[in-house]
């Protein structure tokens, strides 16, 4: 098995098409097909389901993908450790972000500062809504911001607290609840809701808030975009529960009314954003690109301490 086998397989898994993957790897499509067949023969298992339009991974392919990414990440760590002995920081930093991150962090300023200081680092940003933990664990991402819901623990990754925020209800200023200063959670349960799609972190947190108190609610609209959700609420199509920072910086202050939520059964959970990195990165002399990224982030966020 050669390095190109892993590289070509990962490209095919990410692109989902032989044509696009071959273009990405700068080879002809027939060459990519041969590489994948060689890999399957060596492993003794089918890795991909081939159709005329798309390629999907088999269960063996999904399993192998995580190990292939992790292996290449470790190899790159070693290569960059040797190349960085001249004092120039090299390597890669693939960052995962959340749609709501902009309410808590000036991301463009952070990226510009980091890339200006370490121009030899290969840098990429990916906006992920799902599969954050496997992406970091496998090496597809080096570090990622992640919305943490519940107290689930994962192996192979390290969780670093970043920020947390209170949940509030928002409604149109034309809504009957807009005359109040607060609202009880059980009163919200009888209202119509505008929600994000079920896989999103905020939706999972709001669902958890109601389910743990045995309350049901009526989700009338499901949207995948936060700004669209806010506009639906502003137009009176329903209510929503969001982090307070999102409500304050929505850009619709004249149309939205914000209501702190009260409950008779304990406090509401917080909206929590954490930073996820691989737990066991290969030891290399000096600091890794993840270490340097976290240092840069600390300097730009007063009062922030990211203890690894």
The secondary element (H helix, E strand) that includes residue 170 is: strand 167-172
Please report whether residue 264 resides in a domain.
Answer: yes
Largest CA distance in the chain: 69
- Domain identity same for 155 and 278: yes
End-to-end CA, the chain: 35
- Domain identity same for 158 and 278: yes
Instruction: Specify the pLDDT at position 129.
Output: 56
- pLDDT tens sequence across 192-202: 999 999 988 89
Q: Which of 94-98, 252-256, 299-303 has the highest mean pLDDT?
A: 94-98
Contact status, residue 176 vs residue 250, Cβ threshold 8 Å? no
Per the structure, how many domains does the chain have? Answer: 3
- pLDDT tens sequence across 214-240: 999 999 999 988 889 999 999 999 999
Q: Which of 68, 103, 125 is the last residue of a domain?
A: 68
Burial class from Cβ neighbours inside 10 Å (0-12, 13-18, 19+) for residue 239 reads buried
- Domain identity same for 16 and 106: no
How far is the C-alpha of 32 from the C-alpha of 45, rounded, in Å?
A: 17
- Domain identity same for 257 and 285: no
User: Residue 224: which CATH number?
Assistant: 3.40.190.290
Query: What are the structure tokens assigned to 108, written together?
Result: 């463009």
Between the alpha carbon of residue 10 and those of residues 16, 36, 71, 97, the distances in Å are 10, 10, 11, 21
Q: Which range marks the domain in which residue 39 is found?
A: 1-68
- pLDDT tens sequence across 119-136: 988 888 988 755 788 788
Q: Which of 15, 33, 68 is the last residue of a domain?
A: 68
Between the alpha carbon of residue 130 and those of residues 114, 147, 201, 285, the distances in Å are 26, 10, 8, 33
- pLDDT tens sequence across 271-288: 999 999 987 655 555 678
Please report whether residue 74 resides in a domain.
Answer: no
The confidence band for 83, taking pLDDT boundaries of 50, 70 and 90, is: low
- Domain identity same for 262 and 277: no
- Domain identity same for 223 and 246: yes
Q: Which of 36, 68, 100 is the last residue of a domain?
A: 68
- Domain identity same for 172 and 225: yes
How far is the C-alpha of 239 from the C-alpha of 220, rounded, in Å?
A: 10
User: Half-sphere exposure of residue 19, counting CA atoms within 13 Å on the CB side?
Assistant: 4
- Domain identity same for 5 and 147: no
Residue 248 has pLDDT above 60, yes or no: yes
Please report whether residue 303 resides in a domain.
Answer: yes
How far is the C-alpha of 92 from the C-alpha of 73, rounded, in Å?
A: 9
Residue 207 has pLDDT above 60, yes or no: yes
How far is the C-alpha of 304 from the C-alpha of 124, rounded, in Å?
A: 24
Kindly state the average pLDDT of the residues 89-93.
Answer: 78
Please report whether residue 33 resides in a domain.
Answer: yes
User: Residue 301: which CATH number?
Assistant: 3.40.190.10
Please report whether residue 135 resides in a domain.
Answer: yes
Q: pTM above the 0.85 mark?
A: no
% of the chain with per-residue pLDDT over 70: 92
């Amino acid at each position: 098995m050669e390095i190109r086998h892993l590289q070509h397989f990962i490209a095919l898994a990410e692109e989902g098409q032989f044509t696009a993957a071959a273009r990405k790897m700068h080879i002809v499509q027939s060459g990519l097909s041969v590489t994948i067949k060689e890999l399957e023969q060596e492993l003794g298992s089918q890795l991909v389901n081939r159709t005329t339009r798309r390629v999907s991974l088999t269960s063996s392919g999904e399993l192998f993908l995580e190990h292939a990414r992790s292996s290449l990440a470790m190899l790159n760590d070693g290569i960059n450790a040797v190349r960085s002995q001249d004092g120039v920081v090299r390597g890669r930093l693939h960052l995962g972000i959340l749609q709501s991150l902009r309410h808590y962090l000036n991301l463009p300023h952070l990226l510009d500062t980091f890339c200006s200081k370490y121009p030899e680092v290969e840098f990429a940003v990916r906006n992920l809504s799902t599969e954050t933990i496997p992406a970091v664990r496998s090496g597809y991402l080096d570090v990622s911001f992640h919305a943490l819901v519940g107290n689930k623990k994962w192996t192979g990754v390290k969780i670093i607290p970043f920020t947390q925020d209170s949940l509030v209800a928002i409604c149109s200023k034309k809504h009957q609840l807009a005359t109040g200063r607060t609202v009880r959670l059980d009163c919200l349960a009888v209202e119509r809701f505008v929600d994000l799609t079920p896989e999103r972190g905020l939706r999972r947190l709001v669902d958890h808030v109601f389910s743990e108190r045995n309350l049901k609610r009526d989700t009338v609209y499901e949207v995948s975009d936060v700004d669209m959700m806010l506009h639906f609420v502003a137009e009176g199509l329903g209510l929503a529960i969001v982090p307070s920072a999102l409500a304050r910086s929505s850009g619709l202050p004249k149309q939205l009314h914000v209501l702190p939520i009260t409950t008779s059964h304990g406090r509401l959970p917080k909206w929590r954003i954490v930073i996820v990195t691989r737990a066991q990165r290969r030891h290399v002399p000096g600091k890794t690109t993840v270490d340097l990224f976290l240092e840069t982030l600390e300097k730009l966020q007063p009062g922030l301490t990211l203890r690894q």
